[in-house]
Amino acid sequence: MSLQKIHMVRALSGPLTPEPASSELRVMSSEDITQLGRLFLDAYIGTVDYEGESEQDALAAVQGAFDGEFGNFLSSASYVAQRAGELCSASFVTLWQGKPLLAFSVTAARHKGSGLAGRCISASMQALYQAGQPELHLFVSPGNFPAMAVYKRLGFKA
């Protein structure tokens, strides 16, 4: 049984308090698709959002995001965190009903709780703010308490 997602919004008006700068962060590119597929699978296994997807399913979801399946992909506001050549976390931003949407935020299992998700999302918010966007939307599964804690800490409200 699929539960309805919780819609959260973060206003981007006024100065943002950015996460500490990090050389680990960079804008996402299509060259990351294969690694992002592996990251997606690793991030979702064992969570409330995991529905038995395979690595091929995860790769298809990533390709779909790049291809606009979840709204027009905003590459300039989508970030990855990378350590030693490995993608550890990512924030995918798309346009949903004409508004920026954090379509996906994923972090590798061994990096959860490290602050990388917050850094990626903060970088996305900063890029959107600089582009004149007034807010960022997201949807989160009820019961995904770790994600909700990150979103609330970053100022998102239901």
Question: Residue 107 maps to which CATH number?
Answer: 3.40.630.30
User: Which domain range does residue 113 map to?
Assistant: 6-153
Is position 1 within any domain? no
Write the pLDDT tens digit of every residue in 33-55.
999 999 999 999 988 889 899 99
Helix (H, G, I), strand (E, B) or coil at 109: helix
- pTM of the predicted model as reported, rounded to 2 decimal places: 0.91
Total domain count, the chain: 1
Per the domain annotation, does 158 fall within a domain? no
Cα separation, 111 vs 117, whole angstroms: 9
- Check residue 155 and give its pLDDT: 94
